[in-house]
A and B are shown apart, each in its own frame.
Chain A
Amino acid sequence: MTALHSQTLTELASGLKKGEFTSVELTQVLLDRIAAHDDKLNAFVTVTASAALATASRADAARVAGIGGALNGLPIIHKDIFCTRGIKTTCGSKMLENFVSPYDATVVQKLADAGAVVLGKSNMDEFAMGSSNETSYFGPVKNPWNPECSPGGSSGGSSASVAARFAPAATGTDTGGSIRQPAALTGTVGVKPTYGRVSRYGMIAFASSLDQAGVITRSSEDAARLLGVMAGFDERDSTSIDQPVPDYLASIGDSIKGLRVGIVRQHFDAGLEEQTGARVKEAIAVLESLGATTVEVDLPNLDMSVPTYYVVAPAECSSNLSRFDGVRFGYRADDAEDLLDLYCRSRGEGFGDEVKRRIMTGTYVLSAGYYDAYYLKAQQVRQLIADDFRKAFADVDLIAGPTTPSPAFKLGDKVDDPIQMYLNDIYTIGANLAGLPAMSVPCGLVDDLPVGLHLVGAHFNEETLLRCAHQYQQQTEWHKACPEAFK
């Protein structure tokens, strides 16, 4: 039998069902791994060992009674952006260092109802603002493939955990690439569903019109399994879409023969590291070998996506983060002289540099005299970008390309240059601006560091993405590659 920590969610589900091991045994194995190795990665903010074992024990009883849910007894990790009742939810910030949520996010609730066992809360860039996990108040997460490198961000703790076999799956959130970029840089699968597919209720907001919850796993099949539970309408989220959730697992085994795969010329321009580009092309060749046809598509406004994002996202964040004022929750500065001092110091001391920078950028682009030139203009360009995708999807079923311009970069390398950091999301941001489903699939190594194949689908077409990725994974072994130190 493969070691428990190396098994996928699907394999573990089968093992539990057959009684090969119990959820308590499995949970203990993973908790031991986390205890033994997380000091090398800093992937966790909170490990919920005793709660996890208690849940696992209930799951075991439920299984015996034949009443367990779809994920009964299966271990997962939550990004620390999801509110968890009775457990600290820090969002990677000093502002929420001691915040204990009085309620569960819908995603947390749904996974709990399905019987999932939560091992803990994963480290992340502060308020999900970052692409390297270096903005976390709790220190950077390290890449299991090379501890000198970033695991990507903002869901870096989730991606590192899944890559290091701390858990078979983790939740994440993606505003401009925060699931897919870390997945690519750690050799894991990351799925950002269609905007509105998964409830945002209880997910601490960064940029409300872009944020979407998703999953990080090792196989597309596992992602389909988890997503099927997380997705669906939520009456507490006005932007949640009331559409039935298909059974993603039902069609995952179907052939991709005849699938029209769009290749964006601009994706392979300057800016893409050569070896990374080569791995992606090889992956596309695999899809062709499976019967997919490639079609060249044009996204003429692609180069505008990063500047558009860096107006829209900060604008929304500047408003979303106004609620952190030291009064009802969160960090409160001591001995405030007056109300203004309380506000300015609580926020000035409670937020880190990148968060403050984004709040100020957002404040600026919305302020009198600049709104039209920046915010309104960005909303218009956003429309152009969405139109580009709309046109492209008239001819293709999905678009394939690189997830990131290069493999994982060294921690500290880009921290001083916000623009360089922002450009890391150049291929992923478009899907957020247009609200499209997208995923990253491991497709090879460059100098012993993983890179990812990026797939983007039409609205609510997660099924095609998951099927394509699954078929690819039937032909390749990249998703089974494990960093040497975590075998």
Chain B
Amino acid sequence: MSLDKDQVRHIAMLARLKLTDEEYAISVQKLSKIVDFVDQLSAADTTGVVPMAHPLDAAQRLRPDVVTESNERDRYQENAASVSAGLYLVPKVLE
């Protein structure tokens, strides 16, 4: 099963990726190849097989409910392109 341009557009939108027209054309072709390739999986007999989400059979460790972090806002915001009064800025969000 291959992908068409509309599907690729939809995926790109879900993933918030802007592609040029040329990139779209190449993506349709290459993603289709990848999807065809992974389609091999359908041949495997997985009846009754428990899906494996982790390579190790372990349980989640729990952290004590203690605050050890302090305010490092200025340092952390050095990597941000746009901040004002301690806030990260984005184009106006309409509600």
Contacts and interface: CB of A to CB of B under 8 A. Distances in A.
Interface of A: 99-100, 102, 194-196, 209-210, 235, 238-239, 241-242, 301, 303-304, 306-308, 310-311, 318, 322, 325-330, 332, 336-345, 347-349, 351, 353, 356-357, 359-361, 363-365, 367, 373-374, 376-384, 386, 417-419, 422, 432-436, 459
B56 to A, nearest CB: 5
Contact of A360 (B11, B38, B41, B88): B11
Given A209-B54, A360-B8, A100 B42 contact: no
A100 B48 CA distance: 47
B79 A102 contact: yes
Contact of A330 (B19, B50, B79): B79
B91 A339 contact: yes
Nearest to A358: B34
Contact of A384 (B23, B49, B90): B49
Contact of A239 (B23, B39, B54, B80): B54
A95 to B, nearest CB: 12
Given A307-B41, A376-B51, A380-B51, A418 B33 contact: yes
A339 B46 CA distance: 43
> What 9 A-B pairs have minimum CB-CB distances, sorted nearest first?
A435-B55, A348-B18, A379-B51, A329-B79, A344-B18, A380-B46, A332-B81, A383-B52, A343-B16
Given A418-B34, A419-B37, A384 B44 contact: yes
Contacts of B23: 353, 356
Contacts of A340: 16
Contacts of A344: 13, 16-18
B34 A434 contact: no
B79 A357 contact: no
B81 A241 contact: no
A329 B8 CA distance: 27
Given A304-B44, A307-B41, A339-B93, A386 B78 contact: no
Contacts of A379: 51-53
Contact of A357 (B34, B77, B90): B34
B19 to A, nearest CB: 6
Contact of B49 (A383, A417, A459): A383
Interface in B1-49: 3, 7-8, 11-19, 23, 26-27, 30-31, 33-35, 37-42, 44, 46, 49
B26 to A, nearest CB: 8
B72 A102 contact: yes
B14 A304 contact: no
A168 to B, nearest CB: 30
Nearest to A304: B44
B34 A361 contact: yes
B85 interface: no
B8 to A, nearest CB: 7
A328 B30 contact: no
Given A301-B44, A308-B41, A365-B38, A337 B53 contact: no
B40 A304 contact: yes
A304 B43 CA distance: 9
Contacts of B81: 326-327, 332
B75 to A, nearest CB: 5
A208 to B, nearest CB: 10
16 contacts: A195-B56, A196-B56, A209-B53, A238-B61, A325-B16, A328-B76, A329-B80, A339-B91, A344-B18, A345-B18, A359-B17, A360-B15, A364-B7, A377-B44, A418-B34, A459-B56
